[in-house]
Chains A and B, each alone.
Chain A
């Protein structure tokens, strides 16, 4: 007590007034270290720390730190003053005149979330668990009460923290045993072993009931998803190591401020670990620091696939270029650009299980130079063919895993395809480009040539080996439905038979959802893949619009993405002229009216591009009706007397005309193109050739 009085007198000579409490319940944790106490802020998300103060007004250490929600001060045990300290936002200690103090120092303690009291614990003989009332209005203010003797509560623990809701305290002892402590009764309950051992000198909770423990020897912060019942400690971030650690945080705060978007997250599906709750890969942004490519953006959480920060923020997946394909058992070349020298790690999901397993670290702690780096790595021979993901992490830290936080750098995730060895890939119009097919659906009657009754973007990928087909992929976007008739859409692969398709492996996905059926039309010899029998079933009913994305003011409806993946039973000889968009066509939805001349022809009614013959499903008696001047003997199909088509194919992501606007008013150069048999204005369909006010531009 005499020592305390002297300390109080000494402190009052320097302290001019009481320090103010913290203004908020901060997301960051506080960490006290060293024999002359220093206090740090710790970002649990990344493990990053910043020094808040190296002069707290004491030459001794401080331990048993806790954050009091009720008054927003920190409390801890001061070894120099030998009493409880209060610390405000100026990080200057204020020793408190506590009554009935036991004759010892404490390194285990925290402030309860539910009641305004500080709890401290020592397992030494004759000591135990104590409470100090922090309510200034209470008659017991700053009076120590012993809860239980150490003979009843004997735990080898180094810190404890209170759960945000249930009033109980938790700790992990040096062998990894997780204890729950009832501070009212002094009883402890062993919940299990967290799977990690060591001295966990700083422990914390967040508002979701996740328990974080920081190991002194290496600074690793582990997360235990206590409220979810997952008791295994998973490495979460790398914090500072120290032989003398204690920590505290506001348990009712989330560990990341939603407004402080200074963390970079990955974009892969969350099974790979992208979101904060999945302990996703995350990097604290450092201005002018190390990252990949030219762009980086921060967020408070992953956008969660299929969304991505490419859609919601900045397209910062720009640091890695895949110079070659990824083929099983072969080397692959990538070009990686970094702003500074740093270490690159990369993972490829080779078994397509949605997780970056150990053994899938294809690039490990590779030192990058600032600027462009050509890297070669091997795709394992055991890899499976298919669509997958790759994760790249750059940091000044080495030995990073695919998940967890780190203090700098960037993570970039890329969707990739793993191919068989020696496969050639051919893309139309290019690996990320789109072509477009647009239909008039009043055939055999001439339409209004607004060329938007059905509009679909298409991209085709042909995988072949030594001239034999291995797999075909048709990717598409349903862009517009501007006709009042109901139509289905399909793609016919010319020259390929249905029984050449590996039917149990063929798939159709619509908006990233794998469909129950592959779309291969049954009972046909030809390989015909049907997206939908009625395209209207794929789109949301437009609000205040008659059609889907053809009217001004109705452009915001989402396009519908689809993909046919078509592997073959065995290598199929590539048919002649098998390239481009193949043979996309529309057909009448069965049971629906499609004009007086065709009635309910249903599936037997088709419209293909000019001079492309119909499939075996077609009713050939429909040819020659109305305005149709098809002459199958001359191989003239789907054209008028004047040679005009009912379908057009453009080699880009074409912007279709506004509803009822004639094609020539939207694309004036089309006239010379048509009249010159394509000798002039071959690029008539490009957007810069369009009359902007006459097209749907989204």
Chain B
């Protein structure tokens, strides 16, 4: 067995995908399906509740397509970036809700005179995103903009002006 030398520093935040941790290590322990207990049951003794329906018994509208995504339009028009060489990222956050996770970006594009217009599809659970304007100048910090899904709107937009 190899002996591995581990050297680490204390991290300020762990990498967590948007929507919460999806890295549970638990595995099925048996092949018998189990029913999730109801909230009232969870307060007291554990009770296995028989399912009151099966998927095949559901009835849904013929037009409902079970979509797990939504359309988003990104509209950037930044006068402060006009005339400068800049790049735009639209990414999920690293879990601190402040910094972009560059391994989870949805759009990456050079900007044109401080502008960018992009329509895209976003997975439903990505309900908050970070827009970053990056300058090709080591001395100049990025500009960050934060977007959260507005459930009251049918058409989602992220406007940066």
Which residues does A use to contact B, with CB under 8 Å? 258-262, 285, 287-289, 291, 294-300, 313-314, 321-325, 327, 330-331, 333, 339, 374-376, 422, 424-433, 435, 446, 449, 551-552, 555, 579-580, 609-611, 629, 631, 634, 636, 639, 642-645, 648-653, 658-666, 668, 670-671, 673-675, 677-678, 682-683, 685-688, 691-698
CB atoms of B22 and A688 under 8 A apart: yes
Which residues does B use to contact A, with CB under 8 Å? 2-9, 11, 17, 19-22, 24-31, 33-36, 51, 53-69, 85, 87, 89, 91-92, 102-110, 118-126, 132, 134, 136-138, 142
Q: Which residues of B contact A678 (CB under 8 A)?
A: 64, 66-67
CB atoms of A261 and B68 under 8 A apart: no
A-B contact pairs, 25 of them (CB 8 A): A298-B5, A321-B102, A324-B89, A374-B138, A376-B138, A424-B109, A424-B110, A429-B69, A429-B123, A429-B126, A433-B123, A435-B68, A551-B31, A552-B31, A580-B121, A642-B57, A651-B123, A662-B54, A662-B55, A674-B58, A675-B59, A687-B24, A688-B21, A691-B34, A695-B28
Q: Nearest Cβ in chain A — how far from B159, in angstroms? A: 18
CB atoms of A642 and B59 under 8 A apart: yes
Contact of B5 among A261, A333, A422 (CB under 8 A): A261
CB atoms of A297 and B36 under 8 A apart: no
- Separation of A678 and B55 alpha carbons in the complex (Å): 15
A649 with B68: in contact, given A314-B4, A424-B107, A555-B27 (CB under 8 Å)?
A: yes
Contact of A330 among B53, B110, B134 (CB under 8 A): B110
CB atoms of A665 and B51 under 8 A apart: yes
In the complex, residue of chain A having the shortest beta-carbon distance to the beta carbon of B135: A333
Given A322-B102, A642-B59, A686-B22, 13 further pairs, Cβ under 8 A: A294-B9, A295-B6, A427-B105, A433-B123, A435-B123, A580-B121, A611-B63, A631-B62, A660-B33, A673-B66, A674-B60, A674-B64, A692-B28
A644 with B60: in contact, given A323-B134, A658-B33, A697-B28 (CB under 8 Å)?
A: yes
Q: Which residues of B contact A674 (CB under 8 A)?
A: 58, 60, 64, 66
CB atoms of B104 and A662 under 8 A apart: no
In the complex, residue of chain A having the shortest beta-carbon distance to the beta carbon of B19: A686
CB atoms of A651 and B61 under 8 A apart: no
Q: Which residues of B contact A289 (CB under 8 A)?
A: 7
Q: Which residues of A contact B120 (CB under 8 A)?
A: 426, 428, 579
A431 with B105: in contact, given A649-B68, A652-B125 (CB under 8 Å)?
A: yes
- Separation of A424 and B115 alpha carbons in the complex (Å): 13
CB atoms of A686 and B58 under 8 A apart: no
Most A C-beta atoms less than 10 A away, residue of B9, B68, B132, B136: B68
CB atoms of A682 and B5 under 8 A apart: no
A665 with B34: in contact, given A424-B108, A433-B17 (CB under 8 Å)?
A: yes
CB atoms of A651 and B126 under 8 A apart: yes
CB atoms of A446 and B56 under 8 A apart: yes
A430 with B126: in contact, given A314-B4, A697-B26, A697-B27 (CB under 8 Å)?
A: yes
Q: Which residues of A contact B54 (CB under 8 A)?
A: 449, 662, 664
Q: Nearest Cβ in chain B — how far from A375, in angstroms? A: 7
CB atoms of B22 and A687 under 8 A apart: yes
Q: Which residues of B contact A663 (CB under 8 A)?
A: 55
Q: Which residues of A contact B107 (CB under 8 A)?
A: 424-427
Q: Nearest Cβ in chain B — how far from A261, in angstroms? A: 5
Most B C-beta atoms less than 10 A away, residue of A291, A662, A696: A662
CB atoms of A610 and B33 under 8 A apart: no
CB atoms of A331 and B136 under 8 A apart: yes
A375 with B118: in contact, given A324-B108, A692-B26 (CB under 8 Å)?
A: no
- Separation of A313 and B19 alpha carbons in the complex (Å): 27
In the complex, residue of chain A having the shortest beta-carbon distance to the beta carbon of B64: A677
- Separation of A695 and B31 alpha carbons in the complex (Å): 10
Q: Which residues of B contact A631 (CB under 8 A)?
A: 62
